Amino acid sequence: MRIAFLFILVVSLTVFSCRKSQVIEDLSNPEIELIYPSDNPSLSLNLPLCIKAVITDDQRLSSLSWDILESASGSLKMHQQITIPSFRNAIIDENIRLDEHLRGNYIFRITAVDGAGNTSKLTLPFNLHQ
C-alpha cells in the first residue's frame, strides 16, 4: 500500500510540477525607418528613385516588399519582394529605374509583416516629370 501511495505521489508531483514553455505573444508591428529621401522627391526622367530604409521587428520579420502605385488610381506599377537576410532586421537600399513612359504623381510603399501577422506600411509620394 505504501508503494502504491508513493507511486501516485511521485506521478502527481511530476505531472503538476511540469510547466509549459512560455509563449511570448507578439503584439508589436515591425518598424520602418526611412533614411532617404527625407522629403517627397520630384524626379526628372531617366533618374532613379533612390530609397534607403531600415526595417526591424522585436521577434521575427516574415515578409518584406515594396510597390510603386499611381497616386490617382492606386494601380500597381512595380512590385518587388525582398529577401530577409536576418530574422529581426532588413535594409532596403535601392536605386529604382522607372519606366520611361511614367509621368505624374506616384507612391512608393514599403510593407513589412512579422511572424505573428502584424503589418506596417510606409508610403512616400513622389513626382516624375520631364
Q: What is the CATH number of the domain that holds 44?
A: 2.60.40.10
Strand ranges, E, within 1-130: 31-36, 42-44, 49-56, 61-70, 76-81, 89-96, 104-114, 119-129
pLDDT greater than 90 at residue 55: yes
Give which of 11, 65, 56 is closest to 32, Cα–Cα: 56
Give a yes or no: residue 50 inside a domain.
yes
The letter for the amino acid at 125 is P
* Residue range 65-115, pLDDT digits in tens: 999 999 999 999 999 999 887 788 999 999 999 888 888 999 999 999 999
Number of domains in the chain: 1
Query: Residue 57 is part of which domain span?
Result: 26-129
Instruction: Render pLDDT for 4-26 as a digit per residue (tens, 0 to 9).
Output: 665 665 666 565 555 555 667 88
Reported pTM? 0.78
The answer to whether position 21 is within a domain reads no
Residue 115 lies in a domain: yes
